[in-house]
Structure 1
Amino acid sequence: PRKAKEAIGAIAQLTHADGRKMVANVEYNQLEPLLLATGHVEGDVNEADGFSKFPGNINEIVIHLPRYLETLQLSGGKLDEFINPKYVDAARTAFKSPTRLECMMQDYAKTVPPNHPVGWTRYPLEYGYFPCKNDLASAAKLSALGVPAHSAST
């Protein structure tokens, strides 16, 4: 499970204009704009159970090696790249940390041939996703908003 606004990728079913569907990770910084742009006027909100309807993706991956090799041969090992800047504040005029070119390992699922199965498993939160990725000030702000703080202080 994932709390709304939590800074981890979310699993969502995406539907193309032609009706094709795929289950894929939507990165946390892209989820809210995507939801708002596609008619979800409330954006990413917690449901009655206290969690977002979009479960979290913590980047654990299990790959069938023969199918992985086939996919690498077909794709040439290429994945889409992007830049994911972290800003100091909402003004977005200063970087919080250096930015870099990245690719997302979860995008591997977008490269596999249609006949290769792709799926995901949801497990209880208490099984453990407790990263220490935020400083004390950021953690306090997140905690005040009811979002997991992901800090050594919590």
Structure 2
Amino acid sequence: MKWLPLAAAFVTSILLFPGCGGSSATVRMTQQAPVLRSVEITPEDLRFSFDGGKITLRVTVDSERAIHAVTAERSLLNTQKPETKLYPLVPVTGGANVYQTSVDVPANTRPDGQPVHYRLSVFATDVAGVQSDRVEREIRVAAPDASGLPSVPFNP
């Protein structure tokens, strides 16, 4: 019978102080995003003649979790009709966490004689769906020189 007052006091304390150890707490751990440790872009100067060219990307990624995908995104800037193309980077044989791809840079076919600008963006996504910060560069494709364009065919 001596334990009855003690049990009553214990139950009362649980009812009066529910936040003091009587309930479980939810702990949310932030998921660390992958980090693009090294981004090598060849050529370094992303200015192309009007006929475009090719860019090679080589990226080293650090991540606490396995990498699901490393992606390069080429987006046409300053246009009414957005054009975006995705390029998956593939793991390099013998390279720890190193991924590589080639990105096509189209020829400038603008009829107004202006240069074309693209945004090149690279990012990694891990298996938990957490995405790295993006590394972005601008690509410039020169305007076609009127003297270098083929003549318009004439059909009488």
Indicate the TM-score class for this superposition, using the shorter chain for normalisation: under 0.3
Larger strand fraction of residues: 2
Larger helix fraction of residues: 1
TM-score, normalised to structure 1's length? 0.25
The higher-RCO structure (CA 8 Å, 6+ apart) is 2
TM-score, normalised to structure 2's length? 0.25
